[in-house]
Amino acid sequence: MKKKKLFKRKLANHIFRIFSLLAVLLASAAMLVIVSHVIRAGCKALSPGFFLNPSKPYGVPDSGIANALLGSMMITLGAALLATPPAICAGIYLAEFRDHPKVTAVLRFSANVMMGMPSVLVGLFVYILMVVPAGHFSGLAASVALAIIMFPVVMRTTEDMLGMVPYALREASLAIGMTRTRTTLKIICRSARKGLITGILLALARVSGETAPLLFTALFADSWPGDYLSGPTPNMPVLITEYSTNSPFAAMHQAGWGAALVITVLVLALNIGTRILFREKRHAP
């Protein structure tokens, strides 16, 4: 039989291996390029005043991001408080109660589908649900929007983490007479708490960068976030958007980069931190 040229096959293989190496390097380089640019551009804006002063219109001295930072923290905390209890219980239902497998499958499927929903639609939804009836923007509405985004994520990570707890643990505690409820909450959740916390933190990291929902709910204000419940609430992502796109002034752009740096550092720290602390199986977000 006529033999194929080995040389051609090996050449194609070598080219492919180089290409795949380049692909990896390109992707990692992209990360480094972007992060390093954020650091370089944002550094110049950082100063104690930057962190302590609230934002002010262009031209007014002593402007900072303190109010936006505070507002973002309040909004995110609110979202976590709103989303976590029901999401964990929903995850518990998926993981622990197996008597209607078809229903569970549908719910799990729906949660996965919800995770891919565009955040701008969530913003529209909460706008109609809360902003219009109330007649004003609010930080609370923003928290609700972010909570809706967090909900399916925490639900699924909870299910996955609880699923990793060995079945024997459940049997053992039921065998000594504990109720299902107590078993789940006190024993199983406690055993999986590392994973559950990781899931919540990662969901938080993900929503803290979301901008589109905030445009429809909290908008922005150059004041301290006292109006969390009743008025527009300053926050980081919208501040960045405003300073970058709605302002022609270099000083504002610089402040925007500073704010971008702060968010990026926080989010990356959260991500890297959870990865290091909890070396559990990674799940694609």
Partner 1 sequence: MPLKLEARNLNFFYGSQQVLFDNCLPVEEKKITAVIGPSGCGKSTFLRVCNRIFELYRDQRAEGELLLDGVNVLSSEIDVLELRRNIGMIFQKPTPFPMSVFDNVAYPLKLHFKLSRSETHNRVEQALRGASLWEEVKDKLKASGLALSGGQQQRLCIARAIAAEPEVLLMDEPTSALDPLATGKIEELMVELKKRFTIMVVTHNMQQAARISDATAFFYKGIIIEYGATTRIFTNPVNRKTEEYITGRFG
Partner 2 sequence: MKKSAIDHSFKWFCFFCAGLIGLLMLGFFIQLLLNSRQVWEVFGWRFLISREWNPVAEKFGALPSIAGTLSSTAIALSIAVPLALAAAIFLVNAAPLIREVLGHAIDLLAAIPSVIYGMWGLFVLVPLMQDKIQPFLADTLKIQRVPFIGKFLAEDYYNGFGILTGGLILAIMILPYICAILRDVLQMTPPMLREAAYGVGCTRLEAGKDIVIPYGIRGILGGVFIGLGRALGETMAVLFVIGNMMEMPQNAFSGSTTIAATIANSFPEADGLQRSALFALGLILLVMSLLIQILAQWYLRSATANRGE
CA separation for the pair 155, 95 (Å, rounded) = 10
List 4, 98, 102, 282, residue binding partner 1 (CB under 8 A): 4
Compare residues 124 and 169 and give the one whose CB is closer to partner 2: 124
Residues 150-179 that bind partner 2 (CB under 8 A): 151-152, 155, 179
User: What six digits make up the tokens of 191?
Assistant: 């055993």
Q: Which stretch binds partner 1 (CB under 8 A): 6-14, 23-31, 112-120, 242-250?
A: 6-14
- C-alpha of 43 from chain center: 24
**8 makes contact with partner 1 (CB under 8 A):** no
How many CB atoms sit inside 10 A of residue 150's CB? Answer: 25
**138 makes contact with partner 2 (CB under 8 A):** no
HSE-CB of 158 using CA atoms within 13 angstroms:
29
CA separation for the pair 242, 54 (Å, rounded) = 15
CB of 145 to partner 2, least distance (A): 12
CA separation for the pair 158, 175 (Å, rounded) = 24
CB of 7 to partner 1, least distance (A): 11
CB of 261 to partner 2, least distance (A): 9
**130 makes contact with partner 2 (CB under 8 A):** no
Compare residues 10 and 44 and give the one whose CB is closer to partner 1: 10
**26 makes contact with partner 2 (CB under 8 A):** yes
User: What six digits make up the tokens of 267?
Assistant: 């989010």
Helix axes 193-208 and 66-96, enclosed angle (nearest 10)? 140
**32 makes contact with partner 1 (CB under 8 A):** no
**Is 94:116 a contact under the CB 8 Å cutoff?**
no
CB of 68 to partner 2, least distance (A): 12
**Is 67:198 a contact under the CB 8 Å cutoff?**
no
Torsion of CA 81, 86, 88, 90, to 10 degrees: -160
- C-alpha of 214 from chain center: 14
**255 makes contact with partner 2 (CB under 8 A):** no
Q: Which stretch binds partner 1 (CB under 8 A): 4-12, 46-54, 117-125, 173-181?
A: 4-12
List 49, 118, 166, 273, residue binding partner 2 (CB under 8 A): 118
CA separation for the pair 33, 30 (Å, rounded) = 5
**186 makes contact with partner 1 (CB under 8 A):** no
Q: Which stretch binds partner 1 (CB under 8 A): 1-9, 79-87, 202-210, 224-232?
A: 1-9
| Residues binding partner 1: number (CB under 8 A) | 7
**128 makes contact with partner 2 (CB under 8 A):** yes
User: What six digits make up the tokens of 212?
Assistant: 């589109």
By a kind-dependent CB cut-off of 5 to 8 A, residue 250 interacts, out of partner 1, partner 2, none, with none
CA separation for the pair 50, 14 (Å, rounded) = 52
**282 makes contact with partner 1 (CB under 8 A):** no
By a kind-dependent CB cut-off of 5 to 8 A, residue 3 interacts, out of partner 1, partner 2, none, with partner 1
HSE-CB of 269 using CA atoms within 13 angstroms:
6
Tell me which residues touch partner 1 (CB under 8 A). 1-4, 6, 9-10
